[in-house]
Amino acid sequence: MAHYPHPIIAREGWLHIAIAFAIAFSVNIYAGWNWAIPFWIIACFVLQFFRDPPREVPTDRNAILAPADGRIVAVEKTLDPYLEREALKISVFMNVFNVHSNRSPVDGEVRNKWYFPGKFLNADLPKASLENERNALWITADNGADVTCVQVAGLIAKRIICHASSGDHLERGQRFGFIRFGSRVDVYLPLDTKINVNIGDKVSATVTVLAEFR
């Protein structure tokens, strides 16, 4: 499914990629290949960071999909601070080599959206969920269940991008945002949800089924 025209490279990276390659090319022309090598390496890193490959969406309607590529760093019962309820929380940590496009874990309507300025602690730390810069979406799934999906900035992440707004209807696997340069995504789910992942598991956005509605 393609909701905007970039099946390989995220639109959030086009300008950064163009600048990185322009600098590398300019140094190559005016200073020579040896001086340009570090700039070409940086340009290639920027290119791979903004890759955004298409993903196949699982057909199970009860499936709750991974909102990001990365590693599971938290699976726990805790307080959802946005909806003020007890919930099951699953956290996905993205390093700089993961795809950073964020995708909706469920089919549902965005009921509310909150942005909080904050710190830029290592996103692998538990306290990053409540202290770092973050953007939260309250999504009411088509089956009526409430899901909170939170983009959390990391140590070197300086920009959270969220294209979704209150009233939007998101489809599972639909791209809704991007976080630049290392971060995490937290998902808060109803207590009766069946969890399919464990801490340390590697997951892929849309492809991996994090959990299932009962």
- How far is Cα 75 from Cα 210, in angstroms, rounded to an integer? 10
Selecting among 91, 101, 129, 183, the annotated active-site residue is 183
Q: Which of 183, 187, 185, 206 is nearest to 89 (CA)?
A: 187
Q: Which of 75, 69, 65, 79 is nearest to 139 (CA)?
A: 65
> 35 is written with which tokens?
């001086």
Collapse the DSSP code of 212 into the 3-class scheme (helix H, G, I; strand E, B; otherwise coil) and give the result: strand
Residue written as tokens 């099946």? 7
Contact status, residue 9 vs residue 47, Cβ threshold 8 Å: yes
Contact status, residue 148 vs residue 83, Cβ threshold 8 Å: yes
b (16+ CB within 10 A) / e for 155-167: bebeebbbebeee
101 is catalytic: no
Q: In what order do the strands lie in the sheet with 209-212?
A: 63-65, 209-212, 194-195
User: Cβ atoms within 10 A of the Cβ of 9, count?
Assistant: 15
First to last CA, the chain: 26
Residues with a catalytic annotation lie at 183
